[in-house]
A and B are shown apart, each in its own frame.
Chain A
Amino acid sequence: AQSVSQHNHHVILSEAASLELGCNYSYGGTVNLFWYVQYPGQHLQLLLKYFSGDPLVKGIKGFEAEFIKSKFSFNLRKPSVQWSDTAEYFCAVAIGGGGADGLTFGKGTHLIIQP
């Protein structure tokens, strides 16, 4: 079974700092990759996704992620964070094609931005 690893469970940054959240997965074949975000008191929502094509994908609110196949990674980045980025971030992976195993989520990274 595939697994997803998010390296940092808690990250604290100051406003305007740069952000990079790590995500690695274990499956060696074709994958679909997602980052979801859960703002305080809100539902989980999609931040960005990668299915194929350009490995650098852009999402909402200035976030981007880069798929590096050789490293089995899909790290999330933002050049300058804001207080409103405080949230829990989840990386998720689905096996490409049929997605027979559903979506596998990482355990999440709790990001706190200090004003």
Chain B
Amino acid sequence: KAGVTQTPRYLIKTRGQQVTLSCSPISGHRSVSWYQQTPGQGLQFLFEYFSETQRNKGNFPGRFSGRQFSNSRSEMNVSTLELGDSALYLCASSSSTAAKNIQYFGAGTRLSVL
């Protein structure tokens, strides 16, 4: 069974631009969660999607948004990029809600904002 796939693996953007990251969950998994990982703040929860609906949202500004498609694939968008958005963005999938199930993580997308 293929694991969680995130694309692209690396991105370099400049301030003010926007970016879209993609995540393909494990086949059959309906929940996709997104996290931001930085050396200073660690792993911070962005949002969780389940059956195309945003189920939970972390404490991030509205510039961070996401969506989930009918095939459970998910995208995350960050608009008006800031230097502080440089981070590793991780996607995780689970068979049902993330709080009650094991999450399987992808390798991440490393975003650098210049």
The count of A-to-B residue pairs whose CB atoms sit within 8 angstroms is 63
Q: Which of B39-74 contact A (CB under 8 A)?
A: 41-45, 47-48, 56-59
Residues of A within 8 Å of B59, CB to CB, are 1
Contact at A105–B42, with CB atoms within 8 Å?
yes
Residues of A within 8 Å of B42, CB to CB, are 90, 105-108
Q: In this complex, what residue of A is CB-closest to B34?
A: A102
- Which of the segments A12-20, A61-69, A92-100 contacts the partner chain? A92-100
Interface size classification for chain A: 20 to 34
Contact at A44–B90, with CB atoms within 8 Å?
yes
Number of interface residues of B (CB under 8 A): 27
A43-B106, A43-B107, A44-B90 are known contacts. Are A99 and B43 too (CB-CB below 8 A)? no
Contact at A90–B100, with CB atoms within 8 Å?
no
- Which of A32, A96, A102, A106 has a CB less than 8 Å from the CB of B45? A102
Residues of A within 8 Å of B107, CB to CB, are 43
Q: In this complex, what residue of A is CB-closest to B38?
A: A107
Per CB-CB distance, the 5 closest pairs between chain A and chain B, nearest first, are A99-B99, A94-B99, A107-B42, A105-B43, A44-B105
Interface residues of A (CB under 8 A from B): 1, 32, 36, 43-46, 49, 51, 90, 92, 94-96, 98-108
